[in-house]
Amino acid sequence: MKNIARQISGSIILSLGLIGLGAYADSVKNTEPAQVMLFGSFHFSNPGKDMVKTQVINVYTEENQNYLEDLSSRIATDSPTHVLLECHTNDESKMNLRFAKYIKGEHKLNIGESEQLGFRVAKKAGLSKVNCYDSDQDLPYGELLSYLEKSSPERKKLIDDYLEAWGKRFNDLYASSTLEQALDKHNDPAEDKVNLGSYIMLNDVGQGDNFIGADLSSKWWSRNFRMYANIQAVAQPGTKVFVLGGQGHSSIMRPMLELDDKRETWDVRSYF
């Protein structure tokens, strides 16, 4: 009798669960999804903290300032309701103090992409504030390289050579391309694949020992899942959200956006 009761109870719970999932699916279908643009960029002001070292384009030239004015105008014309920037959520109030001064003409834009492009878009769109969506998490790059130096110097050299070649490739791009061409490259699906692949390349370091490669990769993905959660909190039904950040983040979050039933892609490629 107890077994029969358990089976009946389990069937009822399963049915209720399926009904609940069906109701959730219906609610998703009946709401207008948020539109989200993930705009990948290189860092206009490069502090040299990334594993790949590059020299970047000078965005203060007259040509590049004119381009940023034009690009921000075209994005703003499509009526974003929110502008999200790659700054830590704890720093949002400080960012908005600068943005408020910029709106009043009392603040000269800093060199970083958050202000050069993000502030411009937000002001032209008539927004009163910007949002921050970053979530810092320490990554054991140094520990991984030290581990390789001791356990597999040959593997470390291959990784060092790979990162050096990657940096040279982008240095050559920045030296020979316009700002528009460089930003287009940072939003190219082929480049996203290369970026994502770099973490698979490191993933098996320390396999069977300390799994330091897998731990580094998972922590990087964890940071980006947190960042995407911050985007989700803003990108609610009926909103149109411009999200600006490094291509290392946008390349990971694009698959998340593709899988997100409540949000759809606002295509960045149409602006190049």
10-residue averages of pLDDT along the chain (272 residues): 47 49 51 95 73 74 98 98 97 98 98 98 98 89 93 94 92 95 97 92 94 94 97 98 97 98 97 96
**What was the pLDDT predicted at 199?**
87
* pLDDT number for residue 18: 52
Supply the pLDDT for residue 16: 46
C-alpha distances out from residue 266 to 22, 81, 257, 269, 271, Å = 27, 13, 10, 9, 11
As a residue count, the chain comes to: 272
Give the pLDDT score at 141: 87
Report the predicted TM-score, pTM, of the whole model to 2 decimal places: 0.85
Scored b (16 or more CB within 10 A) or e, 212-246 reads bbbbbbeebeebbeebbebbbebbbeebbbbbbbb
Residue 58: its pLDDT value, please? Answer: 94
Q: What is the dihedral of CA 235, 237, 241, 245, to 10 degrees?
A: 30
Q: Is 105 exposed, middle or buried (0-12, 13-18, 19+ CB in 10 A)?
A: exposed
- C-alpha 230/C-alpha 81 separation (Å) is 16
- Maximum separation of any 2 CA atoms in the chain, in Å: 83
Alpha-carbon distance of 248 to 201, in angstroms, equals: 15
pLDDT of residue 117: 98
Contact 237, 8 (CB under 8 A): no
